[in-house]
Amino acid sequence: MTPEVQRLERLAERLRAVDPATPSPGAKIRGWNLVLTAVEQSATVRSRAHPVRRLLLAAVAAAVLLLAGVIAASADSLPDSTLYPLKGVVENVRGALAFSPADKVRYDLDIARTRVIEAAAMIARHRLDLADRALSSLDDQLNDAALVVQAEKQSDPALAASLENRLVQAIASNDQQLAGLQGQATNPATVTAITRARDRAQGALQTADQPASSSAAGKSSASPAATGTGSGSGNGQGNGASASPHATGNN
């Protein structure tokens, strides 16, 4: 071992012998309190915003927003729109959630009003096929409402009278709009389709007036979501048959 190495080893030994500096007890307590606070905050932040959870929440939120946006957009869609089938699904859900007679009539009349708007738009776009389906669907909705009124006449005449009054008003309002459309129409087929729809609306009023046993015509499927190609029975009677734009073979 060279003298230099021996010197340095002695120096190293002297360094090892230096008393370790130790923090004061107060510093240690202060340090732990600060560390503890920071650890608690850190744990809270982590649990609040775990990266994977945050990503998942963002994805779910985006999906919900997207779905809500599509549904909202479909609410105003017309029969020639790609979103129109979704509108039917939403309408069917609404219909399934209408439990009381008053809710059912309100739902049917809402949908009927929508069908009038759709029919007017399709006539304006010279889509008579789609206009005809909308008109048929309109009549089916009115007929459904009429059947509810009819059924209520036995169990709750007062409610039935109120519902019938709403039905009459709705049909009168629809008829006014249909008459306007009819006046503007130049295509004979369009005029015929509107005339038929108006006749069937009046038929729905007759159905509401009849005793329940005499017109158990069954429920219709009058939403855009129903499948099929039915374009309306065109018999001028609210017989409850499916006359949806997509109804299945009931011609």
Partner 1 sequence: MQPLDKAASDDDRPLIERVRRGDQDAARILFERYFDRIYNYVYARLGRVEDAEDLAIDTMTRSLTRLDLFHDQGVAFSSWVYRIAHNATIDHYRREGKATLVPLESATMPVSADPADLALAQLSNDDLRGALRALTDEQQQVLILRFFQDLTAAQAAEIMGKSVGAVQALQHRALGSLERALERRPNN
Give least dist CB 54 to partner 1, A.
Answer: 13
Q: Which is nearer to partner 1, 43 or 124 (CB)?
A: 43
Q: Which is nearer to partner 1, 40 or 156 (CB)?
A: 40
The 10 Å Cβ neighbour count of residue 94 is 14
What is the spatial distance between Cα 35 and Cα 101, in angstroms, rounded to a whole number?
65
Q: What angle do CA 84, 88, 89 make, to 5 degrees?
A: 115
Name residue 172's amino acid: A
Which tokens hold the place of 120?
């007017």
Give least dist CB 3 to partner 1, A.
Answer: 8
Q: Which is nearer to partner 1, 45 or 70 (CB)?
A: 45
Q: Which letter does DSSP use for residue 21 in this model?
A: P
| Interface residues toward partner 1, by CB under 8 A | 3-4, 7-8, 10-12, 14-16, 18-24, 27-28, 30-32, 34-36, 38-43, 46-47
The 10 Å Cβ neighbour count of residue 216 is 10
Give least dist CB 72 to partner 1, A.
Answer: 40
Q: Which is nearer to partner 1, 36 or 66 (CB)?
A: 36
Q: Which residue has the tokens 């008459």?
A: 179
What is the spatial distance between Cα 165 and Cα 156, in angstroms, rounded to a whole number?
14
Q: Which is nearer to partner 1, 1 or 18 (CB)?
A: 18
Give least dist CB 59 to partner 1, A.
Answer: 21
What is the spatial distance between Cα 148 and Cα 229, in angstroms, rounded to a whole number?
26
Give least dist CB 56 to partner 1, A.
Answer: 18
